Chain A
Amino acid sequence: MTTPPKPRFKLTRRKMILGGTLAGGALVVGYTATHPMQVAGAVLTAGGPAAEPGSFGPYISVAPDGWVLIVNPQQEMGQGIHAALAAMIAEEMDADWDRVRVVQAPVNFAHYGPQIAGGSNNVASHWDRLRQTGAAARSMFVDAAALRWQVLRRQLTVQDSVVAHPASGRSASFAELIADAAQQTPPQQPMLKQPGEYRLIGTDRVRRKDCRPKSTGRQIYTQDVHLSDMLVAVVAHPPRFGGQLAGFDDSDARKVAGVVDVFAIETGVAVVALNTFAAMQGRDALRLRWDDSAAETRSSPELASWYRDIAAGRVEEDAHSFEERGAIDQPQRGEVFETTFDFPWLAHAPMEPLDCVAQVDGWNVNIWSGSHNASVDQIHAALTARTIPGRINLTVLTAGGSFGRRGVAMSDYVVECVRIAQRTGGRPVKLIWTREDEMAGGYYRPMAHHRVKVVLGSDGYPADWRHHIVSQGLLPFGSNAQNSEGVAGSPYFATAATVDCRITSPSLPVPVSFWRSVGHSHTAMVMEHVIDQLARRAGRDPAEYRRVLYRAAAAERRVAVLDELCRRAGWNTPLEQGWARGMAVHECFGTIVGQVAEVRLDEDRPVVRRVVAVVDCGIAISPDQIAAQVEGSIGFGLSAALYGAVTLRDGIVQETNFDTYPLVRMNEMPAVETYIMPSTRPPTGMGEPAVPPIAPAVANALLALTGEPTRSLPFLTGRGATNADV
């Protein structure tokens, strides 16, 4: 089962040229040949320790006091990526993890390539590159010690930043070897450890390093940036998606103490003030007229009904076929199972509402932002300011959550901030979106409708699977694959002679975007809840029914997760009266997560007390952070399942704060147990894949309790887009 990791690219001499340079007392190991000043600037902007220009490379430096500084290219938004990527380097370097410091890199394409996060990809995509970087640094220290002591390399050991020669009892720390190590040539093909040799990866030592500043109020987020002479801006956006500004009267707004300026921009009317509250009061005092002639003015039930008509073939819309097998014009005969599902729009609602700081000085633009996709924000900022990306100095800050919202492909709020900053005579501007701005501002997880028709064979397993998804596309190109992932290639098609899966991507003015786990946030609910209903039809246990299909699909990793899940959850053991278990097993971005939820009903309200999760994410880098992501993903997914819905009434968003868009609170959070499958496969991500299974696990428990299937989310409230007329 072990697949050796394939190098994404080979190290070349040119790429390793920075390795071995020494200045200011620090060893540098990096990849690319770039001007040292750029490198130093990059690090220093990110707040690294003071050093001479040229003393830092893009990834690692070792300070004379022995601390190892790891410059992390990808943004920390809560997912623990800083610890995971640093551990890859530290493991191969045999650095002392307790004396490793991690700092955030600014945007720099030359050093780091694209700095974006999507599909939980960064653990997988950095696995080879960062291990090789760490191994190259280790090798240089070993060469230095071998030379100094006139011994063979293979007689040396390295542990916790100390090189030792056991035969003679000699040892030297990385700090003591810096000058000599810097003279060595970095190896082009450094030897990497086998998984069995790891001393750091996979242990509880790999913990996140930002807990103290985040527990004492000292972590700086974009909201906290303060610059001399800085202004604060808020923007009045159109109340309907697609609406345009028709006119405004700012006479009262300008009378508010502290308001400095009011002006129209592409996205609405900006109010610029000396402080945040003055800007908000100024906005409240605006009199605004909007042109809604091109705006969305429909209500959610009407849109949901349209989606259903499309899937049922009652209205004609183009459909894209994403999976087809067998003679689809000759349906199989047998018992027919048919169902539909409706899902509402969902807001990301990160705890830090959207914000950005920008300062425009001619062609040069300084930006401070919790950028999820910093490389994309840099390009959009340059286009907006009519300059080149190299003139965009983007300082990437830790974000108070994103879940996709800070990674919108059009960089909407960053562009908005730059536009305002172009009008303030060079003064820096902090753009603040209120919670209401964020929730009513679009870029939601799209509404989705699924129509599923399965014909069962005489053995009770699917013989014919028809599936039609209706959901807005997330990107202006392509075939909306993001909203069919999780259905496409499903192991549940294994026994079907005919499979016909289509997606229709209706166009409407409500902007949609990536939301933690993307299409899996609805496809997992459909596939996993349909499977439980099919198992009931066939009179089989849902775990056993899945196992047969996984075996038929040769989905061995799923079988292993399922078996472990049953064992850990006590699947076949009895529960107290009134409680039931439900399960879901889903693959998302290469990671397989199975969950079993223990649920009871308090009147109509599902109460979830315990969730057992089993994870196969390849090699587990940080068991602690994998568990943290599973816990958090279950809370995130449960919030959506129980309450999550953004709805329109006559085009106006009805849910604008946590009173109408509730999240799970302390008293509703289940106990979570996480079990990680042992693996030697290259690691895959954990930021998203534990979100999708929780909704179907709860739905399947409710099915077991009541016999009633779920046909729409959220479970609670009548506000859901689609609950209104179901």
Chain B
Amino acid sequence: MIYTLHVNGEWHRVDDDGQTPLLWVLRDALRLTGTKYGCGKAQCGACTVHLDGRPVRSCSVALADAAGAQIGTIEAVGGAEADAVTEAWVARGVPQCGFCQSGQVMSAVALLRSNPAPTDQDIDLAMSGNLCRCATYPRIRAGIHDAAAALGASRS
């Protein structure tokens, strides 16, 4: 069946089974490989994308359910929050292997868009769905605070 997906501001026609996880449509059909496969059951967050602005695990969203929504991936995430997060990640030297970081960045950007001055507890709540096997968590936390400060709203 043919579905119409709105990804990163562009419309795509995708001919696939409606039960196909959005993750594999993004990666294999649209070649947007910044979104990673890590577990396939919404346990690790490596596949986090924005669906109508909310962070979701694309491995657990069916193509049929994603059709018509505004989907944003790491390749096109933009705006002040995304810029601040990227710069903080580079300045802090957050990534190690880096494989989870697309998902971490997508979750962090969504957090800052809804909460410009997150507390440590807010960060725990928003980021605990994103595993990092290299355990870069202390730098992710510091990076979010840096980004919030750069956005002019830090309370920490």
**Which residues on A are within 8 Å of B, measured CB to CB?**
77-80, 207-208, 210-221, 223-224, 226, 232, 257, 275-277, 349-353, 398-401, 403, 432, 434-435, 624-625, 628, 631-636, 638-639, 657-659, 663-667, 669, 671-672
Contact = CB atoms under 8 A, between A and B. Distances in A.
Contact of B137 (A401, A432, A658, A666): A666
B100 interface: yes
Given A211-B89, A351-B36, A277 B20 contact: yes
A685 to B, nearest CB: 15
Given A210-B98, A351-B97, A628-B96, A217 B29 contact: no
B40 A434 contact: yes
B86 A631 contact: no
B141 interface: yes
10 contacts: A207-B93, A218-B34, A221-B36, A351-B46, A400-B99, A435-B41, A628-B136, A631-B139, A659-B41, A666-B128
Contact of B95 (A210, A224, A350): A210
B31 to A, nearest CB: 6
Given A211-B89, A435-B38, A351 B44 contact: yes
Given A217-B73, A351-B132, A277 B21 contact: yes
B137 A669 contact: yes
B131 interface: yes
B27 interface: yes
Nearest to A672: B138
Given A351-B38, A663-B131, A628 B44 contact: no
B134 interface: yes
Contacts of B124: 666-667
B93 A659 contact: no
Contacts of A671: 138
A631 B105 CA distance: 19
A618 B28 CA distance: 46
Given A79-B96, A216-B105, A632-B96, 7 more contacts: A277-B20, A353-B37, A403-B133, A435-B41, A631-B135, A658-B43, A666-B128
Contacts of B94: 211, 215
A400 B24 contact: no
A216 B86 contact: yes
A595 B73 CA distance: 40
Contacts of B27: 224, 276
Given A275-B28, A658-B43, A667-B128, A400 B98 contact: yes
A400 B36 contact: yes
Contact of B101 (A79, A215, A223, A666): A215
Contact of B86 (A77, A215, A226): A215
A215 B105 contact: yes
B93 A257 contact: no
A275 B29 contact: yes
Interface in B61-116: 73-75, 85-86, 89-90, 93-102, 105
Q: Which of A400, A432, A636, A663 has the most CB of B within 10 A?
A: A400
Contacts of B132: 351, 635
Interface string B10-50: 00000001001100100111010111111111011010000
A174 B105 CA distance: 38
Nearest to B85: A215
Contacts of B33: 217, 220, 223-224, 226
B58 interface: no
B125 to A, nearest CB: 8
Nearest to A214: B98
Contacts of B128: 665-667
B97 A400 contact: yes
Interface of B: 17, 20-21, 24, 27-29, 31, 33-41, 43-44, 46, 73-75, 85-86, 89-90, 93-102, 105, 123-125, 127-141
A635 B74 contact: no
Main secondary structure of the interface of A (DSSP, over half): loop
Contact of A351 (B24, B100, B141): B100
Contacts of B29: 275
B45 to A, nearest CB: 10
Contact of B24 (A216, A276, A352, A663): A276
A632 B129 CA distance: 18
Nearest to A204: B93
Contact of B43 (A223, A657, A664): A657
A382 to B, nearest CB: 28
Contacts of A353: 37-38
Q: Give the 6 A-B residue pairs with the shortest CB-CB distance, closest first.
A: A635-B135, A217-B34, A400-B99, A214-B98, A78-B97, A217-B74
A352 B35 contact: no
Q: Which of A79, A257, A275, A634 has the most CB of B within 10 A?
A: A275
A658 B42 CA distance: 9
Given A351-B131, A667-B128, A217 B102 contact: yes
A352 B96 CA distance: 13
Contacts of B43: 657-659
A78 B96 CA distance: 4
Contacts of B75: 217
B66 to A, nearest CB: 14
A349 B133 contact: yes
A481 B69 CA distance: 57
A537 B129 CA distance: 44
Contacts of A275: 24, 28-29
A208 B90 CA distance: 9
B97 A398 contact: yes
Contacts of B138: 631, 669, 671-672
Nearest to A220: B33
A399 B100 CA distance: 12
Given A214-B95, A216-B86, A401-B97, A636 B135 contact: yes
